[in-house]
Amino acid sequence: MGRLGLALFGAGALSLALATDAAAQRKFSFAYDQPTTTAYGVAANIFDAKLKELSGGKMSINQFPGAQLGTEPQMLQKLRAGDIDFLITSTANAASVAPQAGVFSLHFIFRDEDHLAKSLANKAVSDAFRGMIKDSVQGAQVIGLITMGFRNIYSKREYTKVEDLKGVKIRVQATKTEDTHFPAYGAQTVHMPFGEVYISLQTGVVQAAENGVNVYEQNKHYEVAPILSMTQHEANNNCLWVSDKAWNSFSDQEKQWVQAAADEVSRREPAMAFKLESDSAAKLKRIGVKVVENVDKSGFMKAAQPIQDQLAKELGPHAVKILGLVREVK
């Protein structure tokens, strides 16, 4: 073989080696609508580290935080179309494609942080939720459950009892559960994308909003709503999704790695999320935000409890089953 032939052979061999190496290193898009410093970022980092460990570095993710790829409902559509590989959304926004996911938005069904963490890691609860998604959604599936702690109300005024919410316009997630619970407390619900909440609080389009402490702090909503009332009315739960396009491209071994990484997230993330919440509350107090902890929840709970079973039945049999399983977790 002449020099030119050798050179061409060498270049071809190098190109083939690079192509083979590139094929061996698979990177997947992983999107969410919150900053990397929230529990969403924590979950993504746990998932990435475990996936790299199990695959020997052959599989990893590229993170797209901060709603770079759209709002949660928009990203869900992109996920189902196969344009996003992995995605975290709230279970409330999951209800936009699987209405029975709204069961996790029922108020006061989780007794405390310990009960919440155990419920999300419970195999029966997880399997029931994932089965519900499988029966309802085409193009994507849920592979794990996580949390951002509990949701609380923030505003320019404090709310220490249910009567304080009478007539208040509050931004909530667009689900039947929110639109049933909050009117039961006397409030008026308003829907809008998360990215519009800051300006809406600032301009008075809404008087209050509700979310996790860390989300409130990281997105600086305290600048326009400097009073945080610790109502802890709802668990701020989330789904870890994978597109069917990505899932179907995995070998059986890769599917095991991906699922094991998701299981690791469900096991480890809740405790880290709760710490983020407590750290954020402490930081907020230091910078002058009023954190109202003496909230009388009894009135809220009295109004919420009859709605739990009613809404679960209206949502459907999967929701009834999931609610029952959550209540059984000790």
Rounded to whole angstroms, the Cα distance separating 75 from 97 reads: 12
Domain extent listing, the chain: 27-328
Rounded to whole angstroms, the Cα distance separating 133 from 93 reads: 13
The continuous run of DSSP H or E covering 326 comes out as helix 317-328
Percent of the chain with pLDDT strictly greater than 90: 88
Please write the tens of the pLDDT for every residue from 134-158.
Answer: 999 999 999 999 999 999 999 999 9
Q: Is the pLDDT of residue 235 over 50?
A: yes
Looking at the DSSP bridge assignments, the partners of residue 162 are: none
pLDDT number for residue 7: 45
27-328 CATH fold: D-Maltodextrin-Binding Protein; domain 2 (3.40.190)
Angle at 30 between CA 126 and CA 213, to 5 degrees: 70
pLDDT number for residue 19: 39
pLDDT number for residue 60: 98
* CB contact at 8 A, 62 and 95: no
DSSP structure string for 76-142: HHHHHTTS-SEEEEEHHHHTTT-GGGGGGGSTT-S-SHHHHHHHHH-HHHHHHHHHHHHHH-SSEEE
Rounded to whole angstroms, the Cα distance separating 125 from 119 reads: 7
* CB contact at 8 A, 264 and 111: no
C-alpha distances out from residue 80 to 29, 91, 203, Å: 13, 16, 35
pLDDT number for residue 20: 40
Q: Is the pLDDT of residue 67 over 70?
A: yes
CA-nearest of 167, 173, 154, 168 to 107 is: 173
* CB contact at 8 A, 153 and 295: no
* CB contact at 8 A, 170 and 208: yes
194 vs 3 pLDDT, higher one: 194
Mean pLDDT (whole number) for 52-68 = 97
* CB contact at 8 A, 310 and 113: no
pLDDT class for 24, splitting at 50, 70, 90?
Answer: low
Please write the tens of the pLDDT for every residue from 71-90.
Answer: 999 999 999 999 999 999 99
The continuous run of DSSP H or E covering 188 comes out as strand 188-190
pTM over 0.75: yes
Angle at 116 between CA 132 and CA 194, to 5 degrees: 70
pLDDT class for 176, splitting at 50, 70, 90?
Answer: confident
Q: Is the pLDDT of residue 250 over 50?
A: yes
Dihedral sign, CA of 149, 155, 160, 163? negative
Please write the tens of the pLDDT for every residue from 265-291.
Answer: 999 999 999 999 999 999 999 999 999
- 3-state SS, residue 38: coil
Rounded to whole angstroms, the Cα distance separating 47 from 53 reads: 10
Percent of the chain with pLDDT strictly greater than 70: 93
* CB contact at 8 A, 278 and 113: no
User: What one-letter code names the amino acid at 102?
Assistant: G
- With left for phi above 0 and alpha for psi between -120 and 50, is residue 110 left, alpha or beta? beta
pLDDT number for residue 72: 94
Comparing 15-24, 55-64, 207-216, which segment has the lowest mean pLDDT?
Answer: 15-24
What count of Cα atoms within 13 Å lies in the side-chain half-sphere of residue 16?
Answer: 6
Q: Is the pLDDT of residue 1 over 60?
A: no
* CB contact at 8 A, 159 and 278: no
